[in-house]
Every structure is written in structure tokens, then in C-alpha cells.
Amino acid sequence: MLIWYCFAVLCFQQGFSFKIVNKTPYAITNIRLYEYDMHIALSPNEASAVKTLSLSPEKAEGSSVLMLFAENTNYGIYIENPQSGKKYTYVIDSIQPKRNNIFISTIIEEQK
């Protein structure tokens, strides 16, 4: 168990990259991913810059949530824990304000 823990810590210290793409007709603000406040707003059909994060397994375990604010509503959706050496693109495909629903898709690529 200790060997796996050490391996996991080393993997997470290498980090992973991600960006967020807004494919909705709504402006999005207050974006938070893995306890990281992005301090950006995304207009419709806009993408964020690529960010790189290093997370410990403990932080990633309990914080795998993408949160954002759109149309006077806070949204949150659980996402899978990141893997070291991968690049993630989180595409916000649809927001349904009347139903408080959010739909996303995830594209995972090898980091270069």
C-alpha cells in the first residue's frame, strides 16, 4: 500500500493540463476546477487558455468537481480524477437554466 501511495504522489506531482470550452449561448463566470479558481469568464463559444496543475491524491479525491456560474445559477458537476501526463478538455455542451442541468463532455489526450 505504501508503494502505491508513493507512486501516486509522484504521478500527481508531474501534473496534468486542462482547458475549458464553453459551447453554450451563455456567459460563464466563477469557474472552479479541482479547488482551483480560474479567475476568468468565458463568453459563448470561447475557450480558456491551457493550465497545468499538480494535485496530491488527497486533494484530487475530494475535489473532482467543475463548478461555474451562468444565468444567475451556480452549477456543479462531478468529473473523473485526473491522470498525470494527460491533457483534459472539458467542453460545456449545454446548460438548461429552467431545469438547472449542465452537460459536459471530456476529451483526454496524451500531453506533449
Of the candidates 56, 52, 79, the one whose C-alpha atom is nearest the C-alpha of residue 67 is 79
Give the torsion through C-alpha atoms of 22, 25, 30, 36, to 10 deg. Answer: -10
pTM given for the model:
0.80
Question: Looking at the 3D structure of the chain, how many domains does it have?
Answer: 1
The sign of the CA dihedral 107, 108, 111, 112 is negative
pLDDT tens digits along 38-88: 999 999 999 999 998 876 655 555 558 899 999 999 999 998 888 778 899
Longest dimension (CA), the chain: 48
pLDDT tens digits along 83-110: 778 899 999 999 999 999 999 999 998 8
CATH code at 63? 2.60.40.2890
Bridge-partner residues for 46, per DSSP?
22
**Phi and psi (nearest 5°) for 64?**
-80, 65
Q: Which domain holds residue 26?
A: 2-110
